[in-house]
Amino acid sequence: MSLDNETGLDSPGIRVRPVSGLVAADYFAPGYFVWAVLIANLARIGYEEKTMYMAAYDWRLSFQNTEVRDQTLSRIKSNIELMVATNGGKKVVVIPHSMGVIYFLHFMKWVEAPAPMGGGGRSDWCAKHIKAVMNIGAPFLGVPKAVSGLFSIEAKDVAVARAFAPGVLDKDVFGLQTLQHMMRMTRTWDSTMSMIPKGGDTIWGGLDWSPEGYFNCSAKKLKNNDTNTADQNGKGGLGSTKRVNYGRIISFGKDVAEIHSSEIEMVDFRDAFKGSNLINATKCDVWTEYHEMGIEGVKAIADYKVYTAGSILDLLHYVAPKMMARGDAHFSYGIADNLDDPKYQHYKYWSNPLETKLPNAPDMEIYSMYGVGVPTERAYVYKLTPPSECYIPFQIDTSAEGGSEDSCLKGGVFSVDGDETVPVLSSGFMCAKGWRGKTRFNPSGIHTYIREYNHAPPANLLEGRGTQSGAHVDIMGNFALIEDIIRVAAGATGEDLGGDRVYSDIFKWSENINLQL
């Protein structure tokens, strides 16, 4: 599954390709549905293979490289044109999920851009062919989870597993070096860099503030269909007793995560010397870029103490230079000052909603549909691991607990509202504010709608993964979400659905973000 670490394309002599057709992603494994429930329900209102198209793509590649290697973007364009032409000119409803959301954002720019970089469809292609884009679990602005994955090949679940069974994943037990192999592999997948948080401190917060402000992770689970809004002080059902510095995406030590920034002594790491590696790496089955950093490089990272969305990019450039060199050619994470600048015609900007314009398609609709009410990773407390053979020097500190005073910190992970993978801020901000009405990011005034689904776990084992789940993948079986999609696929508009349906504080949090529109 690894790609070439220099090109981001096939490794020599190895060729892995996505399956095509509806079976490509109906089930992940027998009994574990992905798109199957939605496909079956669309079939009940008359859809079939000639009116449904599964746009399978190699999710390891950078978005533009799916076209270079497989012509995937051209195939999507041709299939949409064919469906419109053979169905009386009726426009398509596009339903992307997760990374597919920003992949399709890239497609909408590619399809209208001139060849050879783009698809040559001209500036009215989207207006002519797309009725609505119904984004599910959209990581529009990236996910903090991607940072921990790239930095230490961890997320909350891996950190918990490490705490239960120290050493099993790391090194000598069984001699597997599992995490090292995972890091080596995933750092060849350029697509992972599409998930790095976008918008820097303006969107995600700085050392002493974050848009979410207060949040109570220990609030009781809401009953089905209950709405949930905070009071004027931000201390309602999702209000908290203690302010959380969510802007500090990585902190080395719980104390660093909590004290005021004026009390933190940060030693710049950017020009730190890499070398003097005292660790014997001869017994390593797999090479990672940490083998080249040495003790001084590792110490420099920890001495900087705390990283926000603005400094995360420098951190990743330092610890994974080969990966980020490829990533810089395909992705960007800033905020455009002037969207008419010719540089934004380059494909590296097309999947960042803060550096690109939506198409000129005033009759098109864009939905952001996502779960809420599930604690979702937002920031991390890290520690250095003791030097050893083949080690990954950084690790989430699972001993960092907030207790009753700070219920949002558990096992070294600060949580916020979301769908377990994508925070509400990333899924909701663009449709709540960035694209709402006519803005510089949405000059034609495409109507945007937020449809939130309040998470309710399965009532019993017979319910399987639940019919009211808001979790990132299980939401694909959420009855309310399926009903919304079926109604739009049958001709309804966002107004027919009732406009926005919001349980979180996304509108309030969006107002805390000072972004020129």
Which are the catalytic amino acids?
Answer: 98, 419, 472
Cis peptide bond prior to 116, omega within 30° of 0: yes
Beta bridge partners of 42: none
H or E element, residue 85: helix 72-85
Q: Whose CA is closest to 344, among 333, 334, 355?
A: 355
Distance CA(354)–CA(346), nearest Å, equals 14
Residues 6+ apart with CB under 8 A from 269: 300, 301, 303, 304, 314, 315, 318
Residues 6+ apart with CB under 8 A from 107: 63, 73, 76, 77
| 486 neighbors 478 (Cβ within 8 angstroms) | no
Q: How far is CA 10 from the centre of its chain?
A: 24
- For residue 253, the tally of other CB atoms under 10 A from its CB is 18
Question: Tokens for 98?
Answer: 């997760």
Distance CA(114)–CA(120), nearest Å, equals 4
- Kindly provide the b/e burial profile for residues 11-21, where b requires at least 16 CB atoms within 10 angstroms of the residue's own CB: eeeeeeebeee
H or E element, residue 27: strand 27-29
Task: Write the CA distances from 514 to 416, 457, 510, integer angstroms.
Answer: 20, 35, 8
Q: Could you tell me the strand order of the sheet in which 447-454 lies?
A: 92-94, 130-136, 365-372, 447-454
Distance CA(177)–CA(180), nearest Å, equals 5
End-to-end CA distance of the chain: 41
Distance CA(398)–CA(33), nearest Å, equals 32
Task: Write the CA distances from 355 to 10, 139, 328, integer angstroms.
Answer: 29, 15, 14
Question: Tokens for 244?
Answer: 């959380």
| 370 neighbors 137 (Cβ within 8 angstroms) | yes
Question: Tokens for 487?
Answer: 């109604």
